[in-house]
């Protein structure tokens, strides 16, 4: 669902409306594929596809939040597993963009990230999830180390909230790129 061929005089609002209409009108399997780009939870993807049509970006975002917060721990874990660890290379263009600040860090920071990622996975049983957009590698490392001190019941909520932020960013990308 690329907007590259759209008329250059269209505003971003025009492009969002065109993309939203296309998302509303496409076949269910295409809609699921588009939503899967935003979140790896099968339950969230299925329910978003069934919730169409959306009248606006705001309605889409609000629905995405409602569905995400009604998901269960297993759904969250499935979504987390669709992400690379912070500092690891990914084939996913959006993941690479979101973690772009990690690419140019010194080796010692990369080693610290790898070590903290392992500790987090060992402690909680899933990868560290953070909305990386706009954060430096050092900031993400500090957050990772801080969240390592959390209890499991608190941390799953933190991770779920970070995933919610990521899916919101990706929904906007879906309708603007």
Given the residues 19, 37, 47, 83, the one annotated as active site:
83
Rounded distance, CA 122 to CA 126, Å? 8
CB 123 within 8 A of CB 154: no
Active site (annotated) includes residue 83: yes
Can you spell out the DSSP letters for 96-134? HHHTGGGTT--HHHHHHHHHHHHHHHHHHSS------TT
Q: Which residue has the tokens 């721990």?
A: 73
Question: Active-site positions?
Answer: 83
């Amino acid at each position: 669902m690329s907007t590259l061929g759209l008329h250059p005089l269209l505003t971003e609002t025009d492009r969002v409306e065109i993309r939203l209409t296309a998302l509303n009108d496409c076949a269910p399997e295409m809609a699921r594929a588009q939503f899967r780009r935003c979140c790896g939870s099968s339950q969230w993807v299925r329910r978003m596809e069934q919730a169409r049509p959306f009248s606006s970006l705001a309605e889409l975002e609000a629905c995405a939040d409602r569905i995400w917060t009604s998901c269960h721990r297993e759904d969250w874990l499935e979504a987390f597993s669709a992400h690379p660890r912070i500092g690891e290379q990914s084939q996913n263009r959006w993941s690479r963009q979101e973690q772009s600040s990690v690419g140019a860090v010194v080796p010692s920071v990369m080693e610290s990230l790898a070590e903290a990622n392992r500790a987090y996975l060992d402690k909680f049983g899933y990868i560290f999830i953070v909305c990386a957009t706009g954060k430096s590698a050092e900031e993400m490392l500090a957050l990772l180390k801080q969240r390592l001190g959390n209890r499991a019941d608190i941390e799953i909520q933190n991770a779920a909230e970070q995933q919610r932020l990521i899916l919101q960013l990706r929904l906007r990308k879906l309708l603007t790129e």
